[in-house]
Structure 1
Amino acid sequence: MQAAVAETPRPRAPSHPNEFDLVRIRRGLEARVRYRYVTPRVSGVDGGYLIQSPCCSRNIDAQGGIIDVALMLFDGVSGVWQLFARDHERGTWELAGVHPRLVEMIGEINSDPERVFWQ
């Protein structure tokens, strides 16, 4: 009788952030409805992506400095994207939605009818 030998699972490299999705997000944001005259920054963070932008409305930063717009994190266990909006008064991230695909999440950020992201 042969004994089964279990191999120790090899740790996987995190799938996010990656250059391919950084480009997809940057291109996707070009279709946004609000603040089309500014250039948002998209940067990789542990497990996802952070979108920042100059504050043109001066509602959050009177000097028009760079503010957080959205945080997108991929949950590798459930395979869904979590989208967070910044609560600038509290200094916290608030869950704004859960999406199965990145393109749907970008669509929510772009339309933003409630002005939760582009404030």
Structure 2
Amino acid sequence: MRPLGVLQCLVLHCPAPRRLAAFYQELLGGEVNRPDRRWAVNADWSTLHLPDGRVLCFQRQPGHRRPVWGDSQRPQLAHLDIDVADLSAAHERVLELGATLLDSALGRGWQVYADPAGHPFCLLGH
């Protein structure tokens, strides 16, 4: 079956797009706000072009409310899973970058964090 479309990017809503793009750049690498004909970057929109060609985008949302892990009244609607070579070292680094630990269990091989805008993501050791 021929697909209807191709995923262009994943957009995360947040209060400070450039700051959140910089957070994910430290976590995943890539280039923040690289010129791209598809988007105009400004105070309300930032991009992160990842080394593998994927793109994360960050859009300012006035009145943004952080998701609350495990709360059905303010649920997360999506989350990112990120493979890391050393879970303990990655844990320390994301905390330095401004992440918050939401659910810890190193023995299971993954942990849940929130980025500075409250979006959950998991670090998975391998």
Q: Which TM bucket (shorter chain)?
A: under 0.3
TM, length-normalised to structure 2: 0.26
Bigger RCO of structures 1 and 2 (CA < 8 A, at least 6 apart): 2
TM, length-normalised to structure 1: 0.27
Tell which structure's C-alpha radius of gyration is larger: 1
